Structure 1
Amino acid sequence: HPSGQFDPDVSKPRTSKLTIQTSPQDTSKPTDHFNQTAPQPPPAMSVYTKFAIIGAGGIGGTVADELLKKGASVSILTRDDTQQTLQAFKARGAKLFQLAYTDEDAVKKALAGSEVAISAVSPYHLDVQPPVVRAAKAAGIQLFVPAEYGVQVTVGPNAYKKVVQDLLAEVQLPATLFYTGIFAEFLPIFMDYHFEQGYMNVVGKGETPYSVTSRHDAGRFVAHVLSTAPKSALDGAKIPFEAERLSPLQIHELAEKKLGKNIEVRSITYEENMKKFDTDFTAFLTALGEDGRGVAGSEQEVQDSVAKFFPNWNPAKYETFLS
């Protein structure tokens, strides 16, 4: 990635180390000296090539597929290695490890030799991550990607994400957090839209946009960033991205147009919806959508992430998922 490649902050300390023993007349041409003695890029520019994926049924499957396409080393930790998709990954060179995520010894052995551990467990099983984090630390993993995706909120059903972030800090395991907004493929399920039946439930006014990204495009983005960004750019990074941001009423308009039928908007008050905020994933997400917290990051942050890490990403728009 160009940014940082010629960053004076990256090259200066390297240059000074290389020129420290040269005579004064040589220091007038530090660039020549740098090129002669260091044709290799400085270590700060090195990238990760060995990945372990915990759970490859959802977004993890896309990440595995993309990393294998790039020729990276891929290990997949799974509770069931008989799945056809996983056997297909194995045929392409991935290593499969069937285990219980709570078995720290087994997880540690499976992670040995990998540099990056990518957790892709479902939002309903976030509680299996702490033993995986401890095993990753013990296995010498250099970077951990917890199962964030979604939004930056760590309350309600997402409270366990904070537990995992705190544990990563406690064991001093560097992490990268990716935020995607709501997965386009599951928008009707998560956001209570019933297009087939001709109605959608909308909390509040329905005018606040939230981030939407397809799971496939999110997986492509994560795989690309982890395998192409300099290691130094990933340690501690929070990377929000999105395909687009849409409000429920904009989605209503798109759906009517694309499906060619009237879709009734059924209103639910924000207050009524908040009663189930802590216990119901749909109530949680629709509340965040209405109060402005259903985004991956600010519009500027999202644009900056894509420009910096994957300018040619070109994700699918939500209307392509309406059928």
Structure 2
Amino acid sequence: MQSFKSRGAVLCPVSYDNHASLVNALQGVEVLLSAVAINAILAQLPLVKAAKEANVSVFFPSEYGGRCENNDSRLQMFRDKQKVIDAAKDAGLPIAGLATGPWPEYAISPPMGFDFANKKVTIWGNPDTKITFTTLSSIAQWVAHVLKDVPVTELQNKYLNIQGDLVSRNDIIRLWERKHKAKLEVEFRPVKELEERIEADPTDYLASVLAGWDTGEYHLQPIHNDLYPDWKPDSVESLL
């Protein structure tokens, strides 16, 4: 945290159980950008109340990933994110949702079926369904530019989708094999396995994302990359 302070950031100690401390920290703030982790989504509810009282112009809830607004997912995380969106709307706090698709640095990994170290890939469902991916650094570049150059009034009460790259899992396999001049062993599994996992545990985030990769839930549309016309996001291939 001190490294951010040395670069000009103002650090404000707060307690999420202390409404006054949150309001005080948000005084004079035009944009509130939240990045709470998936296990603390509802911690944003006190932020919503405080931001409204402090006259924050627009609130970016911790969305990222897939679209959470009006998402009927059985996953608890998405239901919690919807509660935050609803709370902001009920409070009259303008929001700007931001969906980015999965972060490939973390999503293209063994827990999600990509075990490149052992040259093995596991795919649940349709391998040709397209998926929006955007790296963390590309997201940061887009957000920083938009907050600097786009009027806040053009962000209020909007749900934005950005896309660094659009590829299927079969595309990822082809890209990796071409780049590394090696073959991958691919195993196909039924989506029913994922549905059973989610039914047994509504907090099984990985199973929910994998199921969404099959259905096209993570093929984001429409795309709002044009809010930063010169944006050059990372490609998936560059990470393989």
**TM-score between the two structures when normalised by the length of structure 1:** 0.68
Question: Aligned residue for 1:252?
Answer: 173
Are 1:306 and 2:221 counterparts? no
Q: Does 1:219 align with 2:137?
A: no
1:142-178 per-position Cα deviation (integer Å, ceiling 9, x unaligned): 1111011111143213211100010001100001111
Task: Say which structure, 1 or 2, has more relative contact order (CA 8 Å, 6+ apart).
Answer: 2
Unaligned runs of at least 5 residues, structure 2: none
For 2:238, the equivalent position in structure 1 comes to 320
Note if contact 1:192-1:282 (Cα within 8 Å) is conserved in structure 2.
no
User: Within the alignment, does 1:294 sit opposite 2:218 as a pair?
Assistant: yes
Report deviation, 1:120: 0.9
Q: Match of 1:258, SS?
A: helix
In 1, distance between residues paired with 2:233 and 2:94? 28
SS in 2 for 1:96: coil
| One-letter code aligned to 1:262 | K
Equivalent residue for 2:38?
A: 123
Deviations 1:55-75 (A, max 9, x none): xxxxxxxxxxxxxxxxxxxxx
**Alpha-carbon distance in 2 for matches of 1:108, 1:286:** 39
Q: What displacement does 1:102 show?
A: 4.0
CA contact (8 A) 1:102 1:128 kept: no
Q: Following TM superposition, by how much is the alpha carbon of 1:312 offset from its aligned partner in structure 2, in angstroms?
A: 0.3
Q: Which amino acid aligns with 1:321?
A: L
Name the structure 2 match of 1:283: 207
Measure how far apart 1:219 and its partner are.
1.4
Residue 145 (structure 1) aligned to one of 60, 76, 98 = 60
Contact 1:176-1:238 at 8 Å conserved across structures: yes
Distance 1:199 1:130 in 2: 42
**Cα distance in 2, alignment partners of residues 100 and 263 from structure 1:** 50
Measure the CA separation in 1 of the matches of 2:21 and 2:181: 53
1:94 is the counterpart of 2:13 = no
Residues 33 and 59 in structure 2, CA contact (< 8 A), matched pair in contact too: yes
Gaps of 5+ in 1: 1-85
Shift of 1:99: 3.2
Q: Is the 8 A contact 2:57 2:152 kept in 1?
A: no
The Cα offsets for residues 238-295 of structure 1, whole Å up to 9 and x where unpaired, read as 1111011111111111122223332221222011111123331111011001011112
Q: Which moved more, 1:268-277 or 1:253-262?
A: 253-262
Residue identity in the other structure for 1:266: E
In structure 2, give the amino acid aligned to 1:93.
G
Task: Give the alignment partner of residue 113 of structure 1, picking from 17, 28, 41.
Answer: 28
Query: How many residues are paired up?
Result: 231
Please name the residue that 1:162 is paired with. 82
Identity of aligned residues (%): 29
Structure 2 counterparts to residues 1-323 of structure 1, below 5 A:
86-153=1-68, 154=71, 155=73, 156=75, 157-189=77-109, 191-277=112-198, 278-295=202-219, 297-298=220-221, 301-302=222-223, 305-307=224-226, 309-322=227-240
Name the CA distance, whole Å, in 2 between partners of 1:126 and 1:310.
28
What do residues 92-138 of structure 1 show as CA deviations (whole Å, max 9, x unaligned)?
11101233434332222211121111001122321211111111112
- Work out the CA distance in 2 between the residues paired with 1:168 and 1:312: 32
Q: Distance in 2 between matches of 1:266 and 1:124?
A: 31
CA contact (8 A) 1:178 1:222 kept: no
Structure 2 letter corresponding to 1:268: R
Q: Please give the secondary structure, in 1, of the residue aligned with 2:117.
A: coil
Amino acid at match of 1:281: Y
Rg: which structure is higher?
1
CA distance in 2, matches of 1:267, 1:104: 50
Instruction: Rate the CA distance shift 1:215–1:273 in 2: closer, same or farther, 3 A.
Output: same
